[in-house]
Structure 1
């Protein structure tokens, strides 16, 4: 196993890594408390919580050229996303904090003769300018919604700015915020600010392409820039085909050769999801999993009206925040128990009505599984939608589409595995009662903001994800058995051993296993700390990586609300283990060594002595 230093990217030396090394219990606490010795050592972090250095650099340069002293910039891929952020800040910050908000929209300089490939990329950036006081509120929007720019998009757009190819299109600023420089390109390429955001491809709202004598050279320069930036291994002509391949894998059609010489992929004739009429067009791609959840909630609000939602089961942190902050609120059932469903049914019989029930299958981090059969029955009888997050389950091991109106997933996890790119998806169930209305809402409002480079990496990473899941399933069962029998261990959370296993079995596919994620608690905090510090795996946020990744999950996700989490049975010292593809015997030995160290800590129990 490699050694990971504090703050090092996971995987090592990966410019766009999704995780970061926090190798000790103390380091995790230091991160949550903002200790300088931790924060200053971090080369990167989980992208929705830690803004990537490439994004920070571009934001700072935008402020230095177009902003005012003490302002900060939050970057989004489209003007609509930026305006949603401003609306959020105005709702959740006081008037003085939101008074100086502004938006700058950047796009390709349409007066340049640009290559068709560069125009097709539509490399837009919109910056929300805000004060230091309102910035934390805007950062909440970034984290909850997943709407922010990806690090690869920011890196590419910064290169365009440096080449004079990306400039200011529009600005929405107060009189005191007039931009210092309306366009960073040469003066002859500058353009006046307009009220309507022009199309990247050029239309009635934008200037036509230049016709001066340098246009041919400019086209060659933009093509050369594109080739040098993307490199030989990233053929952007395959981006649309790569999106199609990803969508088909999500539907359950695994064999897709995007390098085929035909102009388009063959028609979709079958899938593993069990619906003959499920089409590739029913799958929507997003820049991250949380953005898929955010958009599912927004689509349902548009389709069904302003109703409260239900969050059933202890959720991933931002799912609950989305339901609480971006609509009329939600009813939260943190235990996800049968009695919770009894309470819900009682409310429904007395006339309460809801937008949708959101749940995870299995749930993170307790790996419990909701009773989807009963939930579906209640939804059909009392008219609410069901949104299921199957990130941990995956369609390779469980079939949940038949119970859902929308299935959302984080592709960042096991679907990718390489921990170097973000992504998310949403599947609309064509048999769902709200399908037509929700489909119309997606059709009208969906923005494809999944950056081309991220798409290419995701497509390549996901080609073998089915075989990887099968391997992690086997390794996880071995570790579950090992941990479950150890005297220092208080409880192992895993679908196979969870009291809600019958609910899992109702959805498990014939060849499916129990997933690659498990959690463990110890009889004493000191045991947990000793085990975590000793275990020779990568240690950091995220899950579903091709390598085993260990994390004191509750401390990272709920550090400032540990008592709140504990009331739902979530132990503050819980350790979450995302199991990788390592050799099974080697992995088992790693965990045995860590458990032996835990045995030497005073756990208040006599360890068993094996002969």
Structure 2
């Protein structure tokens, strides 16, 4: 199993040691690969912090290591793996033990602004040029030996990304997440002005309160880690039917969790009774809306309980998106998967976490982050994510409109038992409480058929892409429950998540075209006969 840093690999080993039999855990070993700083090319490579740590294990230990990799989201991206593999083949990535004594490897503790005050364009981070090596806009930016190194890297590894823009790209992503950067213009090397306003409704929100991660699960995992580090070992609450790995994180990392799977008012009544009886919790984790039933918990009431009984509120806004809703006002931490519609192009992963500066835990969370946060978001991934997200707001508008049009086709159809969509759910008032002026209801919906056979016929006939993700620029249809909960179908059904559920992630196609596709699939389902 490959990880981006020595510390993360050590966490994987600790997880296996705490969950596997001692004899199985004893099979683990670690290999740390680092940049050969004695090579002339190393100067141009330092900015990337190229490193790989491998956890080697027996077949018996592999399932335990895989659990850590899957739930934590701490693995390496394909771009990091490809880049480091190229270095390894060419002898530029070597065992860390072979690096000469007294030569320190550059730590990746996050952007310098998290370490000490410094302007966005400070320093002399290496970059790779588009066009003539060592030039940008006709200006020579390199001393000769570094120009030579940049040329070497570009020619050897085929890279043509302007790495000097990486910190600017990450800054632009963070500001977009804050709702403080609405421009879709190309990024320039000029430093961005101070962030003065945002659409989150939090006047004192700063760019430094937004953290980027390699994927959405890693954002959730690190939000949980930060709260454990800040507040100590306490159980958490998973409120509402969750994305699979969120519940696993809360169950397997730390003292465990209490699960309220319906996200209903009666669930809140039960939680309040527990709190009244003296039980205390680390945090409530919830999705808004939930996946796949699009249920919206009562954030107003959750916030009131959190203030009274001293627990944090962590809201996953991936499905609602901050272009439609504002949940930060009720949250201590807001997490999101940027892999979904924020990117849309399904060619890069990413995640984010926002610390609410008005949270009672803000100071201690920031102190924990200063000690432990590692910026492992690979530079090339950040460049692609920034490019993809420039038209995020306009794409959300289109997805909202297309989803509404599809709902109008599905709602009156007699084959459909239930349509799940925030606008038509019983929990719609909770959604309206946080919906932004002009915001829509998102691009995700689920339908449950009266007949399992009709669900199968519809799925076979629907002429869309089919797969388990969501938030792509094209429509995706998925038999979500069979994919995510195949080994626990009865358990899922007990929370209303039925096997015949079909989840639809709505894309940006022409509305009339999409409507026609869904009408045809429903007609095919109507005309189908029962399967034996």
Q: Same fold (TM over 0.5)?
A: yes
Taking a change above 3 Å as real, the CA distance of residues 307 and 116 of structure 1, as seen in their structure-2 partners, is same
Corresponding residue to 1:558 among 464, 480, 485: 485
Q: CA deviation at 1:436?
A: 0.6
The residue number in structure 2 matching 1:199 is 105
Corresponding residue to 1:572 among 499, 504, 520: 499
Deviations 1:485-511 (A, max 9, x none): 111111110001100000000011110
Which secondary structure state, in structure 2, belongs to the residue aligned with residue 394 of structure 1?
coil
Does residue 117 (structure 1) correspond to residue 33 (structure 2)? The answer is no
Corresponding residue to 2:27 among 89, 96, 100: 100
Give the whole-Å Cα distance in 2 for the aligned partners of 1:433 and 1:223. 50
Does residue 389 (structure 1) correspond to residue 316 (structure 2)? The answer is yes
1:225-244 maps to which residues of 2 (within 5 A)?
Answer: 225-226=153-154, 229=157, 231-232=159-160, 234-244=161-171
Q: CA deviation at 1:336?
A: 1.0
Which sections of structure 2, spanning at least 5 residues, go unmatched? 109-143
User: In 1, are the aligned partners of 2:4 and 2:76 still within 8 Å (CA)?
Assistant: yes
Taking a change above 3 Å as real, the CA distance of residues 261 and 77 of structure 1, as seen in their structure-2 partners, is closer
Deviations 1:98-125 (A, max 9, x none): 1121111111001112353311110110
User: In 1, are the aligned partners of 2:71 and 2:245 still within 8 Å (CA)?
Assistant: yes
Which secondary structure state, in structure 2, belongs to the residue aligned with residue 397 of structure 1?
coil
Give the whole-Å Cα distance in 1 for the aligned partners of 2:103 and 2:500. 50
Give the whole-Å Cα distance in 1 for the aligned partners of 2:492 and 2:151. 53
The total of aligned residue pairs comes to 495
Corresponding residue to 1:273 among 173, 176, 200: 200
User: In 2, are the aligned partners of 1:312 and 1:357 still within 8 Å (CA)?
Assistant: yes
The residue number in structure 2 matching 1:333 is 260
User: In 1, are the aligned partners of 2:43 and 2:146 still within 8 Å (CA)?
Assistant: no
The residue number in structure 2 matching 1:259 is 187
1:159-178 maps to which residues of 2 (within 5 A)?
Answer: 159-170=86-97
1:8-47 maps to which residues of 2 (within 5 A)?
Answer: none
User: In 1, are the aligned partners of 2:169 and 2:187 still within 8 Å (CA)?
Assistant: no
The residue number in structure 1 matching 2:139 is none
User: In 2, are the aligned partners of 1:78 and 1:126 still within 8 Å (CA)?
Assistant: yes
User: In 1, are the aligned partners of 2:237 and 2:281 still within 8 Å (CA)?
Assistant: yes
Q: CA deviation at 1:231?
A: 3.2
Which secondary structure state, in structure 1, belongs to the residue aligned with residue 323 of structure 2?
helix
Give the whole-Å Cα distance in 2 for the aligned partners of 1:117 and 1:574. 51
The residue number in structure 1 matching 2:148 is 220
Q: TM-score normalized by structure 1?
A: 0.79
User: In 1, are the aligned partners of 2:477 and 2:504 still within 8 Å (CA)?
Assistant: yes
Taking a change above 3 Å as real, the CA distance of residues 230 and 436 of structure 1, as seen in their structure-2 partners, is farther
The residue number in structure 2 matching 1:377 is 304
Which secondary structure state, in structure 1, belongs to the residue aligned with residue 218 of structure 2?
helix
Does residue 601 (structure 1) correspond to residue 507 (structure 2)? The answer is no
Corresponding residue to 2:243 among 296, 310, 316: 316
Does residue 503 (structure 1) correspond to residue 430 (structure 2)? The answer is yes
Q: TM-score normalized by structure 2?
A: 0.90
Q: CA deviation at 1:410?
A: 0.1
Give the whole-Å Cα distance in 1 for the aligned partners of 2:58 and 2:474. 41
Corresponding residue to 1:584 among 508, 511, 515: 511
The residue number in structure 2 matching 1:180 is none
Which sections of structure 1, spanning at least 5 residues, go unmatched? 1-73, 171-189, 203-215, 605-611
Does residue 440 (structure 1) correspond to residue 367 (structure 2)? The answer is yes
Moved over 6 A (4+): 216-219
Q: CA deviation at 1:522?
A: 0.6
The residue number in structure 2 matching 1:213 is none
Deviations 1:208-250 (A, max 9, x none): xxxxxxxx98983564224553533x21110000000000000
User: In 1, are the aligned partners of 2:210 and 2:355 still within 8 Å (CA)?
Assistant: yes
Give the whole-Å Cα distance in 2 for the aligned partners of 1:399 and 1:322. 25
Q: CA deviation at 1:601?
A: 2.6
Q: CA deviation at 1:588?
A: 0.4
The residue number in structure 1 matching 2:7 is 80
Q: CA deviation at 1:201?
A: 7.0
Corresponding residue to 2:409 among 482, 490, 508: 482
Deviates more, 1:399-408 or 1:95-104: 95-104
Which secondary structure state, in structure 1, belongs to the residue aligned with residue 255 of structure 2?
coil
Give the whole-Å Cα distance in 2 for the aligned partners of 1:418 and 1:435. 34
Q: CA deviation at 1:163?
A: 1.4
Does residue 126 (structure 1) correspond to residue 32 (structure 2)? The answer is no
RMSD: 1.9
User: In 1, are the aligned partners of 2:44 and 2:149 still within 8 Å (CA)?
Assistant: no
